Amino acid sequence: MLRVLKAGFYTTVQDSGRFHYRNKGVPVSGVMDEMSVFKINSLLENNESAAVLEITMTGPTLIFEEETYMALGGAKMSATLNNLPIKNYKVYEINVGDILSFGRLEKGFRAYLGVKDGFTTKEVLGSKSFYKPITKANRLADNDMVPFEVQKLFRPKISEIKVSSFLDDSVLEVGKGPEFDMLNDKQLEGIFSKTFTVAHENNRMAYQLTETIETHSISMLTSATIPGTVQLTPAGKLMVLMKDGQTTGGYPRVIQLTDKAICILAQKKGGDSISFKLL
Amino acid sequence: MNSPKIHIKPFGVHSVLIEWSNEVSEIILEKILHFERFLSREVFSNKEWELVPAYNSLLLINRTKQIDFEKISNDINNWYTQLKESPKPDRYLWRLPVSYDAEYALDLDEVAITLHKTKEEIIALHTGVTYTVYGIGFLPGFMYLGGIHKDLELPRKATPRPKVVKGAVGIAGKQAGIYPQESPGGWNIIGNCSVPIFDATKENPCFVSVGDKIQFYQVSKAEHNLHKIEAEVGIYKPEKIKIDA
């Protein structure tokens, strides 16, 4: 068990997502930054879908009540284990009573904590990922307990990896969305020549961008959307749907982020700059 | 009979979108669901694929792999032209109780005034038609219902409410629906349905599927409250009629 002493700003359990219910309107959810989590789970020799904690902006304070092995990744948040600084993408052996805490957000926006074999919270509709009202809670609260299996005898094949960080990247590679061809030259130029600012309205459902492009009156029937879909509202605002984003929408889906671009954006916060590059 | 034309578009590297002509049509919806059923049974029976139908489109999503768009476009065209008459999926008409009591029908007075009708006339129009579920999205279990009486069409509210309660029955434009959970919302609220449309504790969390039909019938506030308690303890079952389409 992991006891949450302080929950931090927005800490959730996430795995690779909730599949096969999108036709009933259930978002896929799952970790926002798949690339960072893939590395953590690889280091811990976990299944790809092992559940981790997704830690947003301000980290929690956590006490391990059982032995395990852990690794951090994603954002850099000045993490300490029993008050000693620790590194991302390195396996640490955990003893009963060890305290993990986080300090200043140095870079990125979402950090991830993985443990050997993953967290074992209850699955709802085939996934452990938090999403209210599918799961009871939308995030962890103070004094919550997060279960995992005790692990005392793990000998990691690789105990540490150097990763080429994408936390400084700001160019999001995109493909054409289904309504791309409805854009006029001015709108195209707007999308691909401007630098956009991430608005403070950004969360696991969607990232809004502050700058607008030319307005439109394109009318379409509601149709499916996926994580990374960029919708253009009639007022000319761009809205990037993320992992908890709605499964259908009625706004033109003008561009589509690559899987990597979703990870890059997931590490951005309000005020950060991004731009789009068409593949 | 010739099948209505399809248009296939790439949508990211993991999905492909099939579109029919840009109209709300039961014939097109039937074709989409027929094709969806064929694909999910004959082609994509493994757990790698998800299919999401809505109005005039069907999205095929591969969970992990990149799709070879050229190849799958060819395959889809072949499958579609070879699509044979096959047994239709079971389709249901669900009859759902609605209380139009003033406590729930927050916009009923305003809707009646705007449309120059009495409240009773609004209720009669709302309960007098059979709706088709053209899509489920926006929220888990939120149904996009087509088939609203043309005399009930009115714009959504100028300012959306920050909070609409669970079960709220709304109308907006050519659409009707029920908010399956508390959420912000801009539709005109004219009643409340006590039947939970979405229940994450069930293996099939949403009893309605795209293509099903919905009818509303009026109940008193007392009946509404009774149904609500019955639903909470799990003994209320919505009335369901099998349709032979």
- Mean pLDDT in chain A? 96
Chain-chain contact of A22 with B61 (C-beta, under 8 angstroms): yes
Instruction: Give the best residue of B6, B7, B8, B11 to mutate against chain A (max A CB count within 10 A).
Output: B11
**Nearest CA-CA partner of B236 in B182, B190, B180, B193:** B193
Which is more confidently placed, A247 or B90? A247
Chain A residues close to B56, C-beta within 8 Å? 221, 223
The CATH number of the structural domain formed by A171-278 is 2.40.100.10
Q: Cis link prior to B87 (omega < 30° from 0)?
A: no
Residues of chain B with pLDDT > 90: what percent?
A: 76
**Distance set, CA A35 to CA A108, B101, B222 (Å):** 13, 52, 54
- pLDDT mean over B215-229: 95
Chain-chain contact of A19 with B59 (C-beta, under 8 angstroms): no
Nearest-CA distance A271 → chain B (Å): 25
**CATH architecture, range B7-81:** 2-Layer Sandwich (3.30)
Among B55, B201, B205, the residue with its CB nearest the CB of A222 is: B55
User: Is B86 a residue whose pLDDT tops 70?
Assistant: no
* Count of positions (residues) in chain A: 279
Q: Give CA–CA dist A159/A171, Å, rounded.
A: 31
Nearest-CA distance A127 → chain B (Å): 12
Residues of chain A with pLDDT > 90: what percent?
A: 96
pLDDT in tens, A128-186: 999 998 999 999 999 999 999 999 999 999 999 998 889 999 999 999 999 999 999 99
Identify whether the C-beta of residue A262 lies closer than 8 Å to the C-beta of residue B14.
Answer: no
Chain-chain contact of A175 with B12 (C-beta, under 8 angstroms): yes
Residue B1: what pLDDT? 52
Chain-chain contact of B137 with A258 (C-beta, under 8 angstroms): no
User: Is A92 a residue whose pLDDT tops 60?
Assistant: yes
Nearest-CA distance A172 → chain B (Å): 13
Determine the Cα angle at B239 with ends B235 and B241, to 5°. Answer: 140
Chain-chain contact of B137 with A221 (C-beta, under 8 angstroms): no
- pLDDT mean over A242-251: 95
User: Is A21 a residue whose pLDDT tops 60?
Assistant: yes
State the sign of the Cα–Cα–Cα–Cα dihedral A215, B14, B61, A246: negative
The beta strand positions in A21-165, using DSSP E, are 52-56, 61-64, 68-76, 80-81, 84-85, 92-94, 99-101, 107-115, 145-146
Residue spans of the domains in chain A: they are 2-146, 171-278
- Mean pLDDT in chain B? 92
Chain-chain contact of B137 with A224 (C-beta, under 8 angstroms): yes
Chain-chain contact of A133 with B50 (C-beta, under 8 angstroms): no
The residues, any chain, with a CB within 8 Å of residue A203's CB and separated by 6 or more, are: A242, A244
Chain-chain contact of B22 with A133 (C-beta, under 8 angstroms): no
Identify whether the C-beta of residue A240 lies closer than 8 Å to the C-beta of residue A199.
Answer: no
User: Is B189 a residue whose pLDDT tops 90?
Assistant: yes
Residue B45: what pLDDT? 76
**Residues of B at the A interface (Cβ-Cβ below 8 Å)?**
9-15, 17, 19, 22, 24, 47, 50-57, 59, 61, 63, 134-142, 144, 180-181, 198, 200-201, 205-206, 209-210
Chain B residues close to A133, C-beta within 8 Å? 140, 181, 200
Q: How confident is the model at residue B158 (pLDDT cuts 50, 70, 90)?
A: confident
Among A177, A224, A257, the residue with its CB nearest the CB of B52 is: A224
CB pairs under 8 A between A and B: 112
User: Is B166 a residue whose pLDDT tops 80?
Assistant: yes
Chain B residues close to A24, C-beta within 8 Å? 136, 140-141, 198, 205-206
Contacts of B237-241 spanning 24+ positions with Cβ under 8 A: B238/B94, B238/B95, B238/B96, B238/B195, B238/B207, B239/B94, B239/B95, B240/B92, B240/B93, B240/B94, B240/B95, B240/B207, B241/B92, B241/B93, B241/B95
Identify whether the C-beta of residue A120 lies closer than 8 Å to the C-beta of residue A47.
Answer: no
Residue A218: what pLDDT? 86
- pLDDT mean over B208-218: 96
- pLDDT mean over B205-229: 95
Helix axes B69-81, B26-38, angle to 10 degrees: 110
Residue A246 phi, psi (nearest 5): -60, 155
Chain-chain contact of A226 with B14 (C-beta, under 8 angstroms): yes
Domain with CATH 3.30.1360.40 in chain B: 7-81
- pLDDT mean over B165-177: 94
- pLDDT mean over B48-72: 94
Q: What is the pTM of this model?
A: 0.94
Instruction: Give the best residue of B17, B22, B35, B50 to mutate against chain A (max A CB count within 10 A).
Output: B50
Chain A residues close to B206, C-beta within 8 Å? 24-25
- pLDDT mean over B69-91: 87
Cβ neighbours around B39 below 10 Å, total = 21
pLDDT in tens, A53-91: 999 999 999 999 999 999 999 999 999 999 999 999 999
Cβ neighbours around B152 below 10 Å, total = 20
- Longest alpha-carbon distance in chain A: 62
Nearest-CA distance B13 → chain A (Å): 8
Lowest mean pLDDT among A183-192, A215-224, B94-103: A215-224
**Mode of pairing for the β-strands spanning A171-176 and A273-278:** parallel
Comparing alpha-carbon positions, the chain A residue that sits nearest to B142 is A25
Q: How confident is the model at residue B221 (pLDDT cuts 50, 70, 90)?
A: very high
Cβ neighbours around A253 below 10 Å, total = 26
Domain with CATH 2.40.100.10 in chain B: 91-243
Cβ neighbours around A225 below 10 Å, total = 29
- pLDDT mean over B30-58: 91
Residue A214: what pLDDT? 95
Report residue A278 as tokens: 């068409």
Lowest mean pLDDT among A15-19, A232-236, B89-93, B125-129: B89-93
Q: How confident is the model at residue B84 (pLDDT cuts 50, 70, 90)?
A: confident
Comparing alpha-carbon positions, the chain B residue that sits nearest to A253 is B11
State the sign of the Cα–Cα–Cα–Cα dihedral A114, A117, A120, A123: positive
ipTM: 0.94
Cβ neighbours around B22 below 10 Å, total = 14
Instruction: Give the best residue of A124, A125, A223, A243 to mutate against chain B (max B CB count within 10 A).
Output: A223
Residue B245: what pLDDT? 55
The beta strand positions in B32-174, using DSSP E, are 49-54, 57-62, 91-99, 131-136, 143-146, 161-164, 168-172
The CATH number of the structural domain formed by B91-243 is 2.40.100.10
